[in-house]
Structure 1
Amino acid sequence: MNSPPSSNFWNGRFVGDNQRYRIDRPIAAGGMGEVFLATDTRVGQQVVLKLLKDTLVASPEMRKRFEREVAISAALQSDHIVKIIDCGVTPEGYPFYVMEYLRGQTLRHLLLCEKRLSVERTVSIISQVCQGLHLAHQGVTLQKDGGHEHIQVVHRDLKPDNIFLVPTDLGEWVKILDFGVAKIRNQSSDQTHLTHTFIGTFRYAAPEQIQNKENLDSRADIYSLGIILYEMLSAADPFGFHIQGNNISEASWVLAHAYEPPKPLREQPGCEHLSAEVEAVVLKCLQKNPNHRFASVAELNQALQAITQPALGSTNTSQKPIIVHPQSHSYPVPAVESSQSDAETIIFQQTGYNQESNDDSVTQIPQPIEPQPTPGEVLPPHPSPYASGNYDSVTQIPQPIEPQPTPGEVLPPHPSPYASGNHDSVTQLLQPEAPQPTPGEVLPPHPSPYASGNHDSVTQLLQPEAPQPTP
């Protein structure tokens, strides 16, 4: 390795055990290495091969780090993390690893084409990223020296270039790329820690990551996701550098991440329609202090899902929906659409309640237009509202119109209402239209309703039509 080979040097060369992989052409170059399209000659499939960057090969510590992190990345078996197939060293001494070949586009390419994305599409993509990161942040357990070692992984280089979108019949499937530069957090020791080396991309790096703090954890990835979310929704960065163009110095990004407050998302042009909840989630990711961010990607994912779920009932979130179960009455009820076709549940919006009530919820039942009774008709129970009193329920039955007496008619006795009394129940009888009496006829008594009292329930019963007496 007297001089670093060029990218063209690798074209057509074979690497790996038994010269398994043929390098076809370069695809891209990153901070840690160069990426090539290659062919797995054993199975005849295309793969992606990444070589450690020539400037890092000379460092024994970096070589050890690269090999260790490749092994750990291969252990991250998630549907949302690109799969590591193989690894090895070229005859020239360059470490490499082999990944599955994905057909699609990076999030960077999508943003260049569409500028900004909808909230729903943004949440769908970042939610899948969170699922992949969740497994990495939880860590993997590997065998070591006859024992077990638990290792937590922080990506440290999340950016649109490392988020890959694979089109499927069910929508975009997201894969996270480039865990090869990940920061390994070992609960016992960090054997490959580089104390004074920044690895990542300044534009998306968390403040504590730029400062090379030793307690770097998963919340650094959450900060990077905040920058990505901001960019996906606004086609801008949180610090206004997009106005100045692309030639922004690394020092400018370092100062902005450390000291500049992010501009509120809804103040960006074209973002006025975004909800306050969306803005709050993004800005929480961008907190300078890691303790003020989401505690985990699972918590972030939950917040993202909540802002895309439609609210139940009215858009006025200060009112709670009321669930009313209609009684088995014969009078009509308002036709209200309900998703519960089997259980006849009608949902209404609460509009008010008695301020003196101690109930947690108030149920309001709309009253239908009361039908006009006919003589002798039995009407269904019709509950009526009451203002005060110790009543469990009040049921009122409409009385028929009392007939007008004729000359010589003997009217039935009509008891007057009472003012008070401690009665558990009061029974009122509703008389049908009184028949025309004949001389000597005795009519049945006709009780009248009461005005008030401490009653648990009031029941009114309707009497059948009285038979006609004979002289």
Structure 2
Amino acid sequence: MDDFGAGEDDFDLYGATLGAGAYVDGYLIEHLVDSGGYGAVYRARHASTGEPAAIKLLHSHLARIPSLRARFQQEVLTLRAVQHPSIVRLLSSATLDDGRPCYVMEWLDGHTLTEELASRGRLSLEDALLTAENIAIALTAAHARGVIHRDVKARNVIVLDAPSRTLKLIDFGVAKVSDAVTKTPVATTSTLLGSPASMAPEQLRHEPVDARTDVYGLGVLLFHLLTGRLPFEAGDAATVEDQHLHAPPPALSALVPVPPALDQVIARALAKDKAARHGSVAALIADAREAVAEQRAPAPATALYLQLAAPAAEEIGQSDNVERPGAEHDQAHNDDDDDALDEIFDDALDALAAAGLCVAWESADSALCFGRGAEPAQVAAVLASASQLSHPALAIAVHVGDAAFGDGRDATGPLVHLGDWLPPLHPGRVAVTPAARAAAAEAAGEAAGEAAGEAAGEAGCDDDPRLLSD
């Protein structure tokens, strides 16, 4: 350990909070970075080389408790055992003269995933998968060495300030390690170890944990990255813990535009019984990748095109070569009329989103929305939404075709090429293409088809809209 004292003159430097200039294991403390219930983290620089470092120090009142000192030492041994490029690197460890243990880590210039989500919002599908994949690599390395992290969450992942996106997994303070790592077993405790927001059911039940416990944590984190929220949220920890034990996670696709197949992936990762989960974090990522790849293959879908138009406007002509017609109109409206039309258009988009349709793109006065799938019942549901939107200032068209979906607004395929299928539009009417009408007619025989036709007819649908291209 260091040959330094904590005498009368050093009280301010080596008190409960270390002061700037305190010398610890060859490093000079610069300032406090963070302090939690277990310990504090400081930024420091090597006294000789000037290299920055982070020093974690156990709180003085906890350092007097043998079991907590042993757990802190276990954290040091864990970091020494799991050296990996995606895990924060341990540099050294020491004990202050007053008995407080500490260890020195590499300094990470960056921000936590928690901070990134707060400033940026939810991640795109590809960014979320890449992020989860990188964390899975770190966890796989830890699992191979007999270490279960037990606290996988956004706060424990650092995104480095670097040209390429680089992540580091940190904080192994509550990790479960094999006796081969610690050499001597650490006494078990009845205290819950982990974070209520992401704790697996077996942790809450004080049952044995294994790699599938981190599968649960990574599943919670992937949900968080994709939606910007946690799967289980409540005003108190007890309710959140009860949800982890008993409540199914919300469907991802009901919250954000992602492939519905991801719903099953998350549901499996967050299974209450760990035996029902993926066997490893790598298997979870592979399952998620497969679900996305399958969704991105062209598949039948239902499109709804929405155009804001003046009620008295003439028929809106279309061109075979125009991808997004009607983006601008030269009609003169006063400010009140413009505001009213904008409100009508925004309300229509909100209603379509509430009905489960995803917006592929939108302009100031037009939008293309998709309902994933083209089963008869799905097409009938889109037609019902169209009929409910009927308004003299709105012109609507519904069609069925193939589209490949990526993340959110990322869609490709024939259904996106409006010039190939968009019929003439009339304010206050819904144009239903023959393909959409035929699909709806299959709902449950002729009776269901007639019902769908009546619903469309009530909305002023054209009986035989002219297709620009067959």
TM-score (norm 1): 0.58
Contact 1:84–1:99 (CA under 8 A) maintained in structure 2? yes
| Identical amino acids, percent of aligned pairs | 29
Aligned twin of 1:34? 40
Name the SS for the 1:165 alignment partner. Answer: strand
Structure 2 counterparts to residues 29-428 of structure 1, below 5 A: 29-139=35-145, 152-169=146-163, 171-186=164-179, 191-213=185-207, 215-241=208-234, 248-268=235-255, 271=256, 273-309=257-293, 314-315=298-299
**Following the alignment from structure 1 to structure 2, what is the Cα–Cα distance between the partners of residues 312 and 40?**
51
**Following the alignment from structure 2 to structure 1, what is the Cα–Cα distance between the partners of residues 269 and 37?**
25
**Following the alignment from structure 2 to structure 1, what is the Cα–Cα distance between the partners of residues 74 and 233?**
39
Aligned twin of 2:23? 14
Structure 1 residue 313: Cα displacement? 6.7
Structure 1 residue 167: Cα displacement? 3.7
Distance 1:159 1:95, change over 3 A: same
**Following the alignment from structure 1 to structure 2, what is the Cα–Cα distance between the partners of residues 55 and 127?**
39
Give the aligned residue type for 2:232.
Answer: F
Distance 1:182 1:275, change over 3 A: same
Tell me which of the two structures has the higher relative contact order, counting C-alpha pairs closer than 8 angstroms and 6 or more residues apart. 2
**Following the alignment from structure 1 to structure 2, what is the Cα–Cα distance between the partners of residues 7 and 280?**
49
Contact 1:184–1:190 (CA under 8 A) maintained in structure 2? no
Structure 1 residue 235: Cα displacement? 1.7
**Once the two structures are superposed, what CA deviation does each residue of 1:76-104 show, in whole Å capped at 9, x if it has no partner?**
12111010011010111110011101111
Structure 1 residue 168: Cα displacement? 3.1
Give the aligned residue type for 1:290.
Answer: K
**Following the alignment from structure 1 to structure 2, what is the Cα–Cα distance between the partners of residues 27 and 73?**
20
Structure 1 residue 155: Cα displacement? 0.7
Does 1:24 find its partner at 2:11? Answer: no
Contact 2:128–2:226 (CA under 8 A) maintained in structure 1? yes
**Following the alignment from structure 1 to structure 2, what is the Cα–Cα distance between the partners of residues 160 and 22?**
29
**Once the two structures are superposed, what CA deviation does each residue of 1:253-291 show, in whole Å capped at 9, x if it has no partner?**
2211111221212222xx1x2102222222211111101
Backbone CA RMSD of aligned residues:
2.7
Contact 2:197–2:233 (CA under 8 A) maintained in structure 1? no
Structure 1 residue 46: Cα displacement? 0.7
**Once the two structures are superposed, what CA deviation does each residue of 1:153-200 show, in whole Å capped at 9, x if it has no partner?**
11111111111111433x311110012331113379971032312222
Distance 1:125 1:31, change over 3 A: farther
**Following the alignment from structure 1 to structure 2, what is the Cα–Cα distance between the partners of residues 236 and 313?**
28
**Following the alignment from structure 2 to structure 1, what is the Cα–Cα distance between the partners of residues 294 and 254?**
24
Name the SS for the 2:244 alignment partner. Answer: helix
Structure 1 residue 8: Cα displacement? 4.0
Aligned twin of 1:371? none
Distance 1:53 1:198, change over 3 A: farther
**Following the alignment from structure 2 to structure 1, what is the Cα–Cα distance between the partners of residues 144 and 217?**
18
Aligned twin of 1:381? none
Name the SS for the 2:177 alignment partner. Answer: strand
Contact 1:51–1:96 (CA under 8 A) maintained in structure 2? yes
Structure 1 residue 294: Cα displacement? 0.8
Distance 1:55 1:155, change over 3 A: farther
Contact 2:259–2:295 (CA under 8 A) maintained in structure 1? no
**Following the alignment from structure 1 to structure 2, what is the Cα–Cα distance between the partners of residues 266 and 6?**
52
Distance 1:311 1:9, change over 3 A: closer
Structure 1 stretches lacking a partner, 5+ long: 140-151, 242-247, 318-471
Structure 2 stretches lacking a partner, 5+ long: 1-5, 302-470
Contact 2:79–2:90 (CA under 8 A) maintained in structure 1? yes
**Following the alignment from structure 2 to structure 1, what is the Cα–Cα distance between the partners of residues 29 and 184?**
34
**Following the alignment from structure 1 to structure 2, what is the Cα–Cα distance between the partners of residues 166 and 138?**
25
Contact 1:15–1:91 (CA under 8 A) maintained in structure 2? no
**Once the two structures are superposed, what CA deviation does each residue of 1:373-411 show, in whole Å capped at 9, x if it has no partner?**
xxxxxxxxxxxxxxxxxxxxxxxxxxxxxxxxxxxxxxx
- How many residue pairs match? The answer is 291
Asked which structure has the greater CA Rg, the reply is 1
The structure with the greater share of residues assigned to helix is 2
